[in-house]
Amino acid sequence: MKIAVFGTGTVGPAVAAALAKLGHDVVIGTRDPQDTPARTQAGPMGGVPFAQWHAEHSGIAVATFADAAAGSDLIVNATNGSGSLAALDAAGAANLAGKVVMDIANPLDFSRGFPPSLDPVNTDSLGEQIQRTFPDARVVKTLNTMNAAIMVDPASVAGGDHSVFVSGNDADAKTVVAGLLAELGHRDIIDLGDITTARGTEMLLPIWLRLWGALGNADFNFKIAR
């Protein structure tokens, strides 16, 4: 599948590399495709600089949000939640129309310090905001409830015995996303319902952040025991 991954932080490159390794035709979407590949400062979580990552993944092109989306069948939104609508706006509604937008971002609000709160929250979600803003896109919220390493290698924790959620209004789009999740190794894929159920998965972030503190690392995931 032709896939555009938006976001050049920790999550975007991890997902892009994993999907490329699976044989997909992957392009990274970014604001400034001239500047991004030259970036030599460490990533936000101490990851390798983008320039180094890109040298190791030279088969993955870097393009503007608009060009990346225009040439792809599916767009992964792995930007910061606070910048997601702007990035998708830069891509252009016409380039998203009819396509699957796999939203894996979280609307974390760091304006009041750590731990961040959520904005929107409770009666709205980032997933819903994206679907409302781009009504012709087929938005599926998923993967936002675990760290990037587990997203792309679920077996790395508890042998893969944990859960991932999908939320969205379009059943076919959810089937496409579930297929990608299965390719990545996810075994327990739970369809929560329409895009309003993204409130639930985004609202997992506060306990996720506190578990990170309590357990001392982020190598954990939610499993729905039943």
Give min distance, CB of 118 to a copy of itself, in A: 6
Q: Name the burial class of residue 128, with classes exposed (0-12), middle (13-18) and buried (19+) by CB atoms within 10 angstroms of its CB.
A: buried
CA angle, residues 142, 84, 214, in degrees to nearest 5: 55
Closer residue to a copy of itself, CB minimum distance, 102 or 118: 118
Closer residue to a copy of itself, CB minimum distance, 40 or 226: 226
Give min distance, CB of 181 to a copy of itself, in A: 16
H-run or E-run covering 140? strand 138-142
Give min distance, CB of 211 to a copy of itself, in A: 6
Which positions lie near a copy of itself, rule CB under 8 A? 112, 117-118, 121-123, 157-158, 161-162, 165, 190-193, 197, 199-201, 203-204, 206-211, 213-215, 219-226
Give dist(CA 13, CA 79) in Å, integer. Answer: 11
Closer residue to a copy of itself, CB minimum distance, 90 or 121: 121
Terminal CA-to-CA distance of the chain, rounded, Å?
A: 34
Closer residue to a copy of itself, CB minimum distance, 171 or 224: 224
Give min distance, CB of 109 to a copy of itself, in A: 9
Lookup: tokens for 219: 């190598």
Lookup: tokens for 150: 């587990």
